[in-house]
Structure 1
Amino acid sequence: MRAVTYTRKGSSDVLEIVDREPAAPGRGEVRVRIHVSGVNPTDWKARAREDWPMPFPDVVPNQDGAGVVEAVGDAVDGLDVGDRVWVYLAAHERPTGTAQESTVLPAARVVRLPEGVGFDVGASLGVPATTAHRALTVHEFGPARLSPGSLAGRTVLVQGGAGAVGHAAIQLAAWAGAVVITTVSSDAKERLARRAGAHHVFHYPDEKLADRILETAPDGVDHIVEVSPATNAGLDVRVLANHGVVAYYATDKGETFSLPVMASFAKNARWQGVLLYTVGQDALTAAAEDITAALRDGALPVGEGAGLPLIWYPLDETAEAHDAVENGAVGKVLIRVTE
């Protein structure tokens, strides 16, 4: 089989295609024939950042993907050969990501795709949708699980609604019954956010942005899904409702941020970090189950008409796919691994 690997840190030039035999799944593992691999910022960062050590001598990148189960190890229940599945965290603490024709991973990270859901959707879930689910379920008085109506009566602000996590957060929040506000930087991104299901869209930068949000949500917003706390912390506190939560998942525009202390504690604000690699299996399993329920309801479509353009590359252009994500491609970058 063909696999994309790297043996040292660096630019996308370190990626190369090799031929190797498919591995046999061990106890509690399955082997999945990957049809589509999804690329996320974490994938190129894991390859490029010199301050993150090489976890293995040889690494196949990409955490997310979708395909068909082709072998099942011992002690695996609920998955069978031939099942169409989506996978997540394939390369977490393992050298076997989805940029290859077959990959072996723990059965807990393999989830059946509902009938009629394409591999393009499945490969677009993983990191973005699971991050969005976690961000929407950490409110002190909010639901720990998402379902239709679980966020009814709540207002969600998604900062950066045209990104992959922002897109998934809009879709999941709207499916769960929330009023969804989002921020974007252009008219084109506004169109994408509205197609994803956002009810109110505001542009940034705008010195009156907080006022505009509060005109829409006079009592404040209950949940904020935050991509750039370094930029938005002050605004977040201003528009937050009492007991609101700011769930931040990225370091866009800076590794540190400051906030007005009194205004934050006066609202009993919760600042909740979200990192899938350390969140624990219970939260990941809950997310996978709720995301699958949303898929059955048709709530997580992808593509231009659904607010998330798809940008395709073949497996032998995985380096170009990584570069596209690193350079801020608008939409979801996918690799067609198997026809």
Structure 2
Amino acid sequence: MHPMKAAFITETGPADALQVGELPDPTPGPGQVVIRVYASAINPIDTYIRNGTIAMELPLPFVPGCDAAGVVESVGPGVKRLSIGDRVWCTNQGLLGRQGTLSELIAVDEHWTFKLPEPVPYEDAAACALVGVTAHLGLFREAQLEPGETILVIGGSGGVGSMVVQMAAATGARVITTAGSEAKAQVCRDLGAEEVILYKDESIADRTKAFAPDGVNVLWETRREPDFDMAIDLMAGRGRMVLMAGRDAKPAFPVGPFYVKECSLHGFVMFKATPMEMKNAAEDISQWLASGKLSANISARFSLDEAAQAHALQESATLEDSSQLAGKIIVTLNT
């Protein structure tokens, strides 16, 4: 066996700080499995950790990446659910001192690792991992979306947004979303949105009121600067608003209409979920992928040797409103 290849940094910096080389093969600790990775996905948070925007304690050399799918290669003491040869996917790696997934072999705690049904491609599982768990937690743990309710998703073709649209539609909710172009609007319709608002040409508020005159039950905000005046105006009584972005935002907040309408506001980050919460989300995601209710939106593929280019593309998409990227970036390994 040759030593495994990985993409890693020895200090935080720009995308080209990522180098590809050999690192020692990981061995599984207690409760861990070693996974042979076939697909890893790039997320915006990977780039923030790599460039130091989000300060986290990093082991050095540090391998970035949250998401992976592959096959269990070996198991450590105390592993109960998984065995060698199982097809699996995982997320929540490369965070809080854990090594990430841009590596041919990774050691992961069993409780962050989920079985992958046979027909689902590794690439699809990796593409839906972090974004899928994020969407599921926000929709069901936080907003408790019910069939027949109406949801407005701001940004339905984005990484998380496209998962929210599909899961809400799979649940039997009426989905309204926004898109920046007719091509992205069509993507949203294909994912299950009933109404798509072209926000560059149309008023989100006017179009939403026409479609949902009684207000929306859930409003999912993905923008960096949430518009609470608009949100609370558009929500029905007991409407729930979900926030997953806007780290530095300090917008005005209309307290009166918010509490008189009995609204609630839900802020959350995926990586603070408990293993049990993640497992609940993961079981739905695996099942929906296998049944075709959930599909991965992959727009670019890179090899492990091209990890720096994959990061650079993700960064330019995040900064420039993703005009050239309409889906997830996948890195394929062990091909």
TM-score, normalised with respect to structure 1: 0.91
The answer to whether the Cα contact below 8 Å between 1:138 and 1:245 also exists between their aligned partners in 2 is no
| Structure 1 residues 24 and 138, CA gap change in structure 2 (3 angstroms) | closer
Which residue is 2:180 aligned to? Answer: 185
Which residue is 2:332 aligned to? Answer: 336
Task: Report percent identity of matched pairs.
Answer: 33
Which residue is 1:28 aligned to? Answer: 31
Deviates more, 1:169-178 or 1:278-287: 278-287
Q: 2:45 aligns with which of 38, 42, 56?
A: 42
Which residue is 2:233 aligned to? Answer: 238
The answer to whether the Cα contact below 8 Å between 1:138 and 1:272 also exists between their aligned partners in 2 is no
Q: CA deviation at 1:118?
A: 0.4
Amino acid across the alignment from 1:289: E
Q: 2:96 aligns with which of 89, 93, 97?
A: 93
Amino acid across the alignment from 1:280: T
Q: 1:256 aligns with which of 250, 262, 283?
A: 250
Q: How many residues matched?
A: 325
Which residue is 2:60 aligned to? Answer: 57
Q: CA deviation at 1:258?
A: 2.1
Amino acid across the alignment from 1:337: L
Q: CA deviation at 1:4?
A: 0.7
Q: Distance in 1 between matches of 2:12 and 2:106?
A: 22
The answer to whether the Cα contact below 8 Å between 1:155 and 1:217 also exists between their aligned partners in 2 is yes
The answer to whether the Cα contact below 8 Å between 1:43 and 1:62 also exists between their aligned partners in 2 is yes
Amino acid across the alignment from 1:113: L
Does 2:226 correspond to 1:198? no
The answer to whether the Cα contact below 8 Å between 2:59 and 2:99 also exists between their aligned partners in 1 is no
Which residue is 2:163 aligned to? Answer: 168
The answer to whether the Cα contact below 8 Å between 2:298 and 2:330 also exists between their aligned partners in 1 is no
Q: CA deviation at 1:126?
A: 1.8
Does 2:314 correspond to 1:325? yes
The answer to whether the Cα contact below 8 Å between 1:12 and 1:319 also exists between their aligned partners in 2 is yes
Deviates more, 1:102-111 or 1:273-282: 273-282
Runs of 4+ in 1 over 4 A off after TM superposition: none
Q: CA deviation at 1:333?
A: 0.3
Q: Distance in 1 between matches of 2:46 and 2:205?
A: 34
Q: 2:121 aligns with which of 112, 118, 127?
A: 118
Does 2:313 correspond to 1:310? no
Q: Distance in 2 between matches of 1:182 and 1:50?
A: 30
Q: CA deviation at 1:206?
A: 5.2
Q: CA deviation at 1:176?
A: 0.9
Does 2:271 correspond to 1:277? yes
Which residue is 1:9 aligned to? Answer: 12
Q: Distance in 2 between matches of 1:291 and 1:85?
A: 13
Query: CA offsets per residue over residues 111-137 of structure 1, 9 Å max, x none?
Result: 111120001111112210011001112
SS in 2 for 1:126: helix
Q: CA deviation at 1:241?
A: 1.2
Query: CA offsets per residue over residues 45-100 of structure 1, 9 Å max, x none?
Result: 11113561442222100100111111111111221111111111122234421101
Which residue is 1:148 aligned to? Answer: none
Which residue is 1:214 aligned to? Answer: 209
Q: CA deviation at 1:20?
A: 2.1
The answer to whether the Cα contact below 8 Å between 1:29 and 1:72 also exists between their aligned partners in 2 is yes
Q: Distance in 1 between matches of 2:76 and 2:262?
A: 48
The answer to whether the Cα contact below 8 Å between 2:56 and 2:96 also exists between their aligned partners in 1 is no
SS in 1 for 2:60: coil
Q: 1:293 aligns with which of 284, 287, 292?
A: 287
Please list every run of 5 or more consecutive structure 1 residues that lacks an aligned counterpart in the other structure. Answer: 144-150, 303-307
SS in 2 for 1:81: coil
Q: 2:154 aligns with which of 156, 159, 183?
A: 159
SS in 2 for 1:135: helix
Q: Distance in 2 between matches of 1:226 and 1:234?
A: 13
Q: CA deviation at 1:286?
A: 1.6
Q: Distance in 2 between matches of 1:139 and 1:105?
A: 27
Does 2:19 correspond to 1:19? no
The answer to whether the Cα contact below 8 Å between 1:229 and 1:248 also exists between their aligned partners in 2 is no
Q: CA deviation at 1:280?
A: 2.6
**RMSD (Å), alpha carbons:** 1.7
| Structure 1 residues 79 and 163, CA gap change in structure 2 (3 angstroms) | same
Amino acid across the alignment from 2:302: Y
Q: CA deviation at 1:232?
A: 2.9
